[in-house]
Structure 1
Amino acid sequence: MHRIKKFDRNNARSLNSVIALNPDVIKEAKEKDSAFQAGQRNHPIFGIPVLLKDNINTENMPTTAGAVALQKNNTDDAYIVERLKENGAIILGKANLSEWAYFFCGECPSGYSAVGGQTLNPYGRKILDTGGSSSGSAVAIAANFAPVAVGSETSGSILSPASQNSLVGLKPTIGVLSRGGIVPISSTLDTPGPITKNVIDNAILFSAMTGKDPQDPASAKSGRVNEDYYSSISKKNLEGVRFGALKPLMEDSLYIAAVNDLREAGAEVIEFEPEKVELPNFLRLLNLDMKKDLPEYFEKYGGSGEFRGVEDVIAYNSTDSLNRSPYGQALFEGIVKDSSTDKEFAAIKDTLKRNGRRFFDVPMKKHNLKGILSINNYHA
């Protein structure tokens, strides 16, 4: 907390990565210390402070998604927060984000929200981009404000800031972690996920959030209950493990260096030309999902009661746009204008799913690969 006060706000080195602190965190930390000394540790996450992206509901801090409209959005804990607490984690506070998870203003910088201001990259303050939308979650870990943080991703929002801040970010398979109580963009693609400094911490935080949430259809369908992803991790060599390298990326010096590191560790790296696939109507998928999913969040999980959907937020921001939406709200306006029949929407999702899978499945099968190597969120 001292380090956050010293480096995060209102000085020449501020990073604006933390949007709120848990008012009970000292009390909770003392309780965990006592429990730990009494041998009550039930998980490696026990007693570890965790920062949450501020689109994840918590009971004693408003969940704003960076939006002025949601500053009174007082809620119960999201399902993954319940799981973290059950496993002994301490919720340190909330991290800033690209407002509405970067699906709001269109031509605005990543890492900006009206509530939290502009998050800045500690490796190059005002020089390097933070990545988004889990900007504060990544910056806070890079700056040692917390050991681990939770982000969320629709398409690149964990991968990008993790990459930009030299961290480990994981977007899990949809449904392994519950989305219950998280401000949505797309029920087709959304998931929370861990952002950490190393792989073992990532696996521990990931495991601490797992559980079957009957309120989230994807979680209920996946059937994952209390997984352990960390016990089997070891520093094995990569002899015989086959990775695919995309030929168009082999002009990037850092990519080439990473490929060579893997080869020196014993991996086989097969260079290939990527499949030429189109992803038509991707923006429409997000529009149509959020048009349906945001009202569901307000109805089931939201705590302010003032808003029913995107139109209400647009109207609220329009009365004081300088302070509430200084970069405009072009993407929200696009959501309102978009519509489709159920049949058309199903066709959009089907095409995107088939084409997206083909991009990876064809080379994975053809070359018998364990994984494909990319950069940042290029292929999210």
Structure 2
Amino acid sequence: MKKLLPILALLLIAAPVQAQLEETTIASLSADLASGRTSSERVVRAYLKRIAAMDRKGPRLNSIITLNPQAIEQARALDAERRAGRLRGPLHGVPILLKDNIEVAGMPTTAGSLALVRNDPGRDSPVAAALKAKGAIILGKTNLSEWANFRSERSMSGWSAVGGLTRNPYALDRTTCGSSSGSGAAVAAGFAPGAIGSETNGSVICPSSMMGLVGLKPTVGLIPRTHIVPISHSQDTAGPMARNVRDVAILLSALIASDPADPATADAMAHAQDYAAALDPAKIRGMRIGVLRGGAQPELLARYDVALGVLKGLGATLVEVKKPAMEGMSAASYDVLQYEFKADLNAYLATTRADQVPVRTLSDLIAFDVAHADREMPLFGQDIFAMAQAKAGLDDAAYKAAREKSLRLAGREGIDAMLAENRVDLLVTISYGPAWPSDTVWGDQYEGPGGSTGPAAIAGYPHLTVPMGLVRGLPVGLSFIGTAYAEQTLLDAGLAYEQASGIHVRPTFRPTADTGPELEGNRP
């Protein structure tokens, strides 16, 4: 019996890891590692086993493009550091996934495109370097909407030529939204406790909302963008995605840095802090929260009314806010993105290795896609690429005018005006409606109720989404939006709502959201 005790102890330690992966958080995993209830190596092996069983098999989520071949070895090294008393913080030994437009040495960074399938210049982005420095294990790279959903107006979110179609764990025939599709699906499915996505407009918030996660699009300039495949230096930012607000705060705290190669981050360290340690849900009492209305689906609006009731019950004062017209904001921003995509992508491609990446400019990329149309463009084309290629340089007067207009309407005359005129601390609204069907004919269907990301994305302001419940079995999110560097306020309010609402529903991996007796009739 004595000989069996060590074996039984190991089994008792390992069992919770496998049994609870869908519910494991960064904070709970960090505590288990600290107490010795598990090890980083054991955790990594458990996640890899689950990924092998469910990402390419089982429900076949297609959420991960590449796994880190050194993950187990790195886990062992971090376990050894822990035994030696060298701890790097709450991420020590915790597996994290990164969107496959963020460079990590030793793994290709494809942006979902066959043109970048061998793109491994052997360098870490500041995002990857920061996570590694804090002891996180980069478990792998997640699938995404190809080129971060900036190739065609008829695109299908979650699809890339490299990774295929990412499927929503709540209903496999429904969109994951995007472009951080794989990051959202993987965390929702229990393939890692957290992931890093990126957003230009909606790419963290939308997949988080539609897959029952907390997602934060931080203030542009808090997190360096160097060695992240770009769309727009005005709007791009990496952002954390996880199961709860505290985990998102832990990840945010680890990523903030000033980077000489990214001028937008010049003031980042002035705002660096431990956002998780500073969390205080009691601060919602007495907050003035501006309520934005929108959408028409009755069940979604009913969910929103319940959420507003929770906030009011917590002691917040709710103020009805009328959204300014912001006429021309979106069109001006779209122009900005096209100008900056051409300039920023050309600059990025110039830093890749010519022996790995056959395209050196956007013009080359357009030609590459035409030459490989059977694999690159089976579902939609590259009309946005063509529009961007036709744009002039960043010294063009039309570009400067569009940037000034979009920034003014979204920021000073948009979010800032709503906050100031109504004397509110933050704004709250529906993040997005429930996920639409993945549609190979029509592509994405953003016209549904919800969709709150534009002003904060264009202004470069923070935006947090927190699960608000289910509509017909599909997750919907509640958005908290503030002015620049208001992350702590949003996180405090989000945590208060999260704790009071108690909402978290496991994905069921059902084949479709559309089955039911109401579709089959009532024949005798």
TM-score range, shorter chain: over 0.9
TM-score normalised by L of structure 2: 0.70
Is the CA contact 1:15–1:121 (under 8 Å) kept in the aligned structure 2?
yes
Alignment of 1:91-240 (within 5 A): 91-126=138-173, 128-224=174-270, 227-236=273-282, 238-240=284-286
Which residues of structure 1 form unaligned runs of 5+? none
> How far apart are 1:346 and its partner, in Å?
1.1
Tell whether 2:423 aligns with 1:368: yes
> How far apart are 1:369 and its partner, in Å?
0.9
Alignment of 1:293-332 (within 5 A): 293-300=344-351, 304-326=356-378, 327-332=380-385
**Paired residue for 2:342?**
291
User: 1:168, 1:347 → 2: CA distance?
Assistant: 35
Is the CA contact 1:245–1:374 (under 8 Å) kept in the aligned structure 2?
yes
User: 1:262, 1:156 → 2: CA distance?
Assistant: 24
Pairing partner for 1:336 from 379, 385, 389: 389
> How far apart are 1:142 and its partner, in Å?
0.4
Q: Which has the larger radius of gyration?
A: 2
**CA offset digits 1:297-346 (Å, max 9, x no partner):** 12235673422221111111111201122221121112112336522211
* Secondary structure at the counterpart of residue 281 of structure 1: helix
**CA offset digits 1:236-262 (Å, max 9, x no partner):** 262211111113359622221211111
> What letter corresponds to residue 104 of structure 1 in structure 2?
R
User: 1:19, 1:310 → 2: CA distance?
Assistant: 23
User: 1:321, 1:310 → 2: CA distance?
Assistant: 16
**CA offset digits 1:84-106 (Å, max 9, x no partner):** 11111100000000000000132
Is the CA contact 1:120–1:130 (under 8 Å) kept in the aligned structure 2?
yes
Identity %: 39
* Secondary structure at the counterpart of residue 325 of structure 2: coil
User: 2:346, 2:289 → 1: CA distance?
Assistant: 42
> What letter corresponds to residue 227 of structure 1 in structure 2?
Q
Is the CA contact 1:211–1:224 (under 8 Å) kept in the aligned structure 2?
no
User: 1:268, 1:350 → 2: CA distance?
Assistant: 34
Is the CA contact 1:212–1:219 (under 8 Å) kept in the aligned structure 2?
yes
User: 1:12, 1:45 → 2: CA distance?
Assistant: 30
Deviates more, 1:330-339 or 1:19-28: 330-339
**CA offset digits 1:268-314 (Å, max 9, x no partner):** 11112211112132221111001100111122356734222211111
**Paired residue for 2:312?**
263
Is the CA contact 1:255–1:375 (under 8 Å) kept in the aligned structure 2?
yes
TM-score normalised by L of structure 1: 0.95
User: 1:117, 1:13 → 2: CA distance?
Assistant: 14
**Paired residue for 2:332?**
281
User: 1:257, 1:129 → 2: CA distance?
Assistant: 25
Is the CA contact 2:321–2:422 (under 8 Å) kept in the aligned structure 1?
no
Pairing partner for 1:25 from 68, 71, 88: 71
Is the CA contact 2:286–2:315 (under 8 Å) kept in the aligned structure 1?
yes
User: 1:348, 1:105 → 2: CA distance?
Assistant: 21
- The change in CA–CA distance for 1:12 and 1:231 in structure 2 (over 3 A counts) is closer
> How far apart are 1:264 and its partner, in Å?
1.1
Which residues of structure 2 form unaligned runs of 5+? 1-47, 432-450, 455-524
- The change in CA–CA distance for 1:46 and 1:226 in structure 2 (over 3 A counts) is farther
User: 1:223, 1:239 → 2: CA distance?
Assistant: 29
User: 2:202, 2:115 → 1: CA distance?
Assistant: 25
* Secondary structure at the counterpart of residue 181 of structure 1: coil
| Coordinate RMSD, CA, aligned | 1.7
User: 1:89, 1:193 → 2: CA distance?
Assistant: 16
* Secondary structure at the counterpart of residue 155 of structure 2: coil
User: 1:240, 1:234 → 2: CA distance?
Assistant: 13
> What letter corresponds to residue 154 of structure 1 in structure 2?
T
Tell whether 2:136 aligns with 1:89: yes
> How far apart are 1:360 and its partner, in Å?
1.3
* Secondary structure at the counterpart of residue 282 of structure 1: helix
Is the CA contact 1:148–1:196 (under 8 Å) kept in the aligned structure 2?
yes
Is the CA contact 1:237–1:265 (under 8 Å) kept in the aligned structure 2?
no
Matched pairs, number: 378
> How far apart are 1:135 and its partner, in Å?
0.5
**Paired residue for 2:452?**
378
User: 1:224, 1:153 → 2: CA distance?
Assistant: 22
Is the CA contact 2:359–2:368 (under 8 Å) kept in the aligned structure 1?
no
User: 1:237, 1:56 → 2: CA distance?
Assistant: 35
User: 1:302, 1:295 → 2: CA distance?
Assistant: 13
